[in-house]
Amino acid sequence: MVSMDWDVLVEEAWRVREHAHAPYSRFFVGAALLAEDGRVFLGCNVENLSYGLTNCAERVAIGAAVAAGVTRFLGVAVVADTAVPISPCGACRQVLAEFRVPRVLLANRSERLEFSLEELLPRSSAGILDRTD
Ligand code: THU
């Protein structure tokens, strides 16, 4: 049985944040995503000269997991060096909802806030999807 260890995930998220490609915003983000099988998938933000092509850390982590054939998750930690813990963008909330990532921990250097996906994006699939997988 895999259990959530936020300390490990937060540490991994800070580590991968070092790889962020953010020459335009200079805003560096790291994400560590825990799969049901215990594996951890990492993501950092990857910006582009054409700003709108930017990929957020959360979506890069999801992409890494999906590419490895993993689609079931327990939670994700997202870190940035902000005054208050970072708030994921709407697109990332929708992508986390796609894979039903149930718990989201948002952290800066000194504070952690934990949310359910439902709190971050209420009723994300109501009336649209009826997936059974
Ligand atoms: N960013 C993330 O990677 N995750 C978030 O939750 C918020 C924002 C990135 C996108 C862009 O590279 C930079 O942070 C500034 O918005």
- pLDDT of 47: 98
Instruction: Identify the active-site residue in 11, 47, 58, 111.
Output: 58
Centre of ligand 1 to C-alpha 29, Å, is 6
Closest CA to 2 of 29, 31, 40, 32: 40
- pLDDT of 87: 96
**Which residue has a Cα nearest atom 7 of ligand 1?**
88
Q: CA 99, CA 124: separation in Å to the nearest integer?
A: 11
Q: CA 88, CA 29: separation in Å to the nearest integer?
A: 10
- pLDDT of 125: 80
Q: What's the token pair of residue 132?
A: 């059974």
Task: Give the global pTM.
Answer: 0.96
User: Looking at residue 30, what DSSP letter applies?
Assistant: E
Centre of ligand 1 to C-alpha 130, Å, is 30
Centre of ligand 1 to C-alpha 4, Å, is 24
With a cut of 70, which residues of the chain have pLDDT below it? 129-130
- Indicate if 47 belongs to the active site: no
- pLDDT of 129: 64
